Structure 1
Amino acid sequence: MGTQTGGDRGRAPGPGPGGRPAAPRPWRERATWAPLAALAVLALGWGRDLSGPAVAVVGLCLAGAVLSAVHHAEVVAHRVGEPFGSLLLAVAVTVIEVGLIVMLMVSGGDEAATYARDTVFAAVMITCNGVVGLSLLAATLRGRVAAFNAEGSGGALATVTTLATTTLVLPAFTTGTPGPEFTGAQLAFAAVASLSLYGLFVTVQTVRHREYFLPVTAEGRPVDPAAHAPPPTRAATGWSLGLLAAALVAVVGLAKLVSPAIEAGVKAVGLPTAVVGVTIALMVLLPETLAALRAARGARVQTSLNLAYGSAIASIGLTVPTIALVSVWLPGPLILGLGPVHLVLLALTALVSALTVVPGRATLLQSGVHLLLFAAFVFLSFSP
């Protein structure tokens, strides 16, 4: 996706002795060893009751695998270009998120009924307010005004709003079941509609109107891709693609090992169950947030918005159909409807985001508004 980190990792090596190019040494990088070490820990800990120190080791390996996964996704993304890079990162992060949610639901019993809702809503609030706010802050502090394509960002925001309303708002008002749940037919419709709309968005983003999702300068001209780091070689891209797959497998497996500790910790301190979903979303989206910040500091605000809104779209469009399918084999209910406080936060986020995106330019004020909404969401999650 054109980030400096991805380019630095995959660019051609400097000259070696005698002026010849030095051979790449990817095995010396931490991003290479992290997923391999995570897989080894997964094999050693699978099917065992872990002690406190063992859980700490698993948690460290899980964090390393998440960071490595997004790093290698960046390398591949830098090779394929924008907006394919943002799309790849969003899908990679969503695969991690879905794996964590499914593992927690399988092991959580009836208390896991709201994990999918809490995690998806947290992902929407983190991306649409936290990531967008921080990206606009970084861009406006550097250049006073952040410029982006209103056509692409506006379409992405409309997709996020529609998906969130269909899957998280409507269940709170339907009457087919007593609680904020969908009936089987309603859940199937929401799953198919979400997946279809996600597929339509990807088609528009990558085929029919790709130009709407490319970075622009403050004057509205396209950003010159040659001004950033050169793309990685084919060998480096293939290496990162394989390690990306290994990291994703490790993340899903280690999530299964560490999920009991997360739930026990939340219960021990008396926090709401929703904190589990917030913790998952924060952990998964942190590397993508850093990628968005790097893009914003490089005057590529559109790339940051692609990451933010694309991740929110993928979080709903891919997670809800997967959870709907998994719920067939789960005995407990699947609660997707939001409560009153979260409904207000979602409505305010949609309104503020529309006012931010429509002009195609944003200032420090817009970043502050989004960051305040994000702070309100985090605070109310811990103190409802």
Structure 2
Amino acid sequence: MTAKLRLADRTNDIFPILGFVAAMASLAMPLNPWFVAFILCGAVVAAVHHAEVIAHRVGEPFGTLLLALAVTVIEVGLILTLMQAEPEKAQTLARDTVFAAVMVILNLLMGLCLLSGAIRHHEQRFQRTGMGAALATLTVLTVVSLVLPNFTSSAPGPFYSATQLGFVAVVSLILYATFALVQTVRHRDYFLPDGDADGDGVPDAHAPPPSVQRTAMSGALLLASLVAVVLLAKNLSPVMGALLADWGAPPAVLGVLIAALILAPEGLAAVRAAKADRLQTSLNLALGSALATIGLTIPAVAILSIVADLPIGLGLDAKSTVLLFLSLIVSVQTLANGRTTVLQGVIHLMLFAIYLFTTFVP
């Protein structure tokens, strides 16, 4: 190992600890925004590194599933904390956060992955069977959670009744659990990268996997990094909110920025995988993140809503509904034939640009 690589490894081991300490300190006292931004960036890069170490050890698709679950669990914790702290703003917080995360994943993240991979490798292939299953599950989850509430009559407005909310929570958990079972056990081969002849989830050209001790250390540091990313992003949100207010941006833009920060570790890992010609791993990360975001967030929010008697508005407005359906339809077309080029990447990025523009200029 060269001195440069040793320095990079040490940096990736140090930043999660610094980030965790800074995150804990931010709960007790205000920190300098520039310092927080610096530590946040370091924690994001470190999270990517340690996620890749774990993924290399356990193989696909377990590594990508683990990262998606870790980020989503912390994201759910953040949403629930904010809902309890500010009940007056809680009605649309879950909806706005989940919708922003889905649009970031389906359009920005997928677009960057497809474009960066196609620029370097011209055309990339993936297993369309697995991606089709993931997209079908995602379509049902998003429509039931974010669109159907506008068309039910048990409660007025974009709300589910308590009974409906409980039913949707159960449906979401069943769908996500079934998908995870299919991805990791029954049809694991549908989600393996090309070139994995021995079925261990790691392409055959890769170096030997890391040791158990190193993997365990990376797991702990990954968790510390993810906690740091979420809490430091929360610490920066008032500063970003003030800046956006000065610029005249609508409040919804803050949700987009926070979602992008929280998803940054998975996003960077997915883009790096695509550039390394591992588009299957990249798509596993992207769609797995979207599924975990809805499949775990909606049940958690539903439980809090029922227990604490907090009304939760999940239904999207007409503009957001159109953009959601457009994103899902385009994603189906993108993943239909098992290969992608720069065109699909540009299409998804332009969809995100449309979403972002209409958020600023509704």
Which residue pairs with 1:32 in the alignment?
13
Tell me how far 1:335 sits from its aligned partner.
Answer: 1.5
Q: 1:267 to 1:326 in 2, by over 3 A?
A: farther
Which residue pairs with 1:146 in the alignment?
124
Is the aligned partner of 1:364 residue 2:345? no
Partner residue of 1:337 out of 315, 318, 325: 315
Which residue pairs with 1:171 in the alignment?
149
Which residue pairs with 1:8 in the alignment?
none
Whole-angstrom distance in 2 between the partners of 1:244 and 1:296: 21
Tell me how far 1:44 sits from its aligned partner.
Answer: 3.4
Whole-angstrom distance in 2 between the partners of 1:70 and 1:61: 14
Partner residue of 1:215 out of 182, 185, 193: 193
Q: 1:175 to 1:215 in 2, by over 3 A?
A: same
Whole-angstrom distance in 2 between the partners of 1:143 and 1:43: 43
Aligned length: 358
Tell me how far 1:330 sits from its aligned partner.
Answer: 5.2
Whole-angstrom distance in 2 between the partners of 1:94 and 1:225: 27
Aligned-partner SS, 1:276: helix
Aligned-partner SS, 1:190: helix
Query: Which range is displaced more, 265-274 or 289-298?
Result: 265-274
Whole-angstrom distance in 1 between the partners of 2:352 and 2:234: 28
Which residue pairs with 2:39 in the alignment?
61
Which residue pairs with 2:203 in the alignment?
225
Mapping 1:273-312, distance limit 5 Å: 273-312=251-290
Is the aligned partner of 1:124 residue 2:97? no
Which residue pairs with 1:350 in the alignment?
328
User: Residue type of the partner of 2:336?
Assistant: V
Contact 2:68/2:292 (8 A) holds in 1? yes
Query: Which range is displaced more, 76-85 or 136-145?
Result: 136-145
Is the aligned partner of 1:135 residue 2:113? yes
Which residue pairs with 1:6 in the alignment?
none
**Cα shift readout 1:253-279 (whole Å, capped 9, x = no counterpart):** 445544444444444544323222211
Mapping 1:205-284, distance limit 5 Å: 205-216=183-194, 225-254=203-232, 257-284=235-262
Aligned-partner SS, 2:263: helix
Is the aligned partner of 1:162 residue 2:134? no
Whole-angstrom distance in 2 between the partners of 1:125 and 1:185: 28
Whole-angstrom distance in 2 between the partners of 1:180 and 1:307: 30
Mapping 1:2-17, distance limit 5 Å: none
Gaps of 5+ in 2: none
Contact 2:60/2:202 (8 A) holds in 1? no
Whole-angstrom distance in 1 between the partners of 2:115 and 2:24: 42
Is the aligned partner of 1:88 residue 2:66? yes
Aligned-partner SS, 1:227: coil
Contact 1:181/1:335 (8 A) holds in 2? yes
Aligned-partner SS, 1:179: coil
Contact 1:26/1:32 (8 A) holds in 2? no
Contact 1:127/1:309 (8 A) holds in 2? yes
Q: 1:376 to 1:227 in 2, by over 3 A?
A: same
Q: 1:43 to 1:284 in 2, by over 3 A?
A: closer
Which residue pairs with 2:49 in the alignment?
71
Partner residue of 2:22 out of 41, 46, 54: 41
Whole-angstrom distance in 2 between the partners of 1:118 and 1:254: 20
Whole-angstrom distance in 1 between the partners of 2:115 and 2:8: 36
Query: Which range is displaced more, 94-103 or 244-253?
Result: 244-253
Whole-angstrom distance in 2 between the partners of 1:326 and 1:251: 24
Whole-angstrom distance in 2 between the partners of 1:122 and 1:164: 12
Tell me how far 1:166 sits from its aligned partner.
Answer: 0.9
Whole-angstrom distance in 2 between the partners of 1:103 and 1:266: 23
Query: Which range is displaced more, 242-251 or 263-272?
Result: 263-272
Contact 2:102/2:290 (8 A) holds in 1? yes
Tell me how far 1:156 sits from its aligned partner.
Answer: 0.5
**Cα shift readout 1:351-371 (whole Å, capped 9, x = no counterpart):** 111111121122222222111
Q: 1:239 to 1:26 in 2, by over 3 A?
A: farther
User: Residue type of the partner of 1:83?
Assistant: P
Query: Which range is displaced more, 63-72 or 136-145?
Result: 63-72
Whole-angstrom distance in 1 between the partners of 2:340 and 2:13: 38
Query: Which range is displaced more, 369-378 or 328-337?
Result: 328-337
Which residue pairs with 1:4 in the alignment?
none
Aligned-partner SS, 2:104: helix
Whole-angstrom distance in 1 between the partners of 2:152 and 2:344: 34
Tell me how far 1:116 sits from its aligned partner.
Answer: 1.4
Whole-angstrom distance in 1 between the partners of 2:211 and 2:260: 32
User: Residue type of the partner of 1:79?
Assistant: R
User: Residue type of the partner of 1:68?
Assistant: A
Instruction: Give the TM-score of the pair, scaled to structure 1.
Output: 0.84
Contact 1:195/1:317 (8 A) holds in 2? yes
Gaps of 5+ in 1: 1-12, 17-23
**Cα shift readout 1:310-369 (whole Å, capped 9, x = no counterpart):** 110001001111222233465653211111111111111111111111211222222221
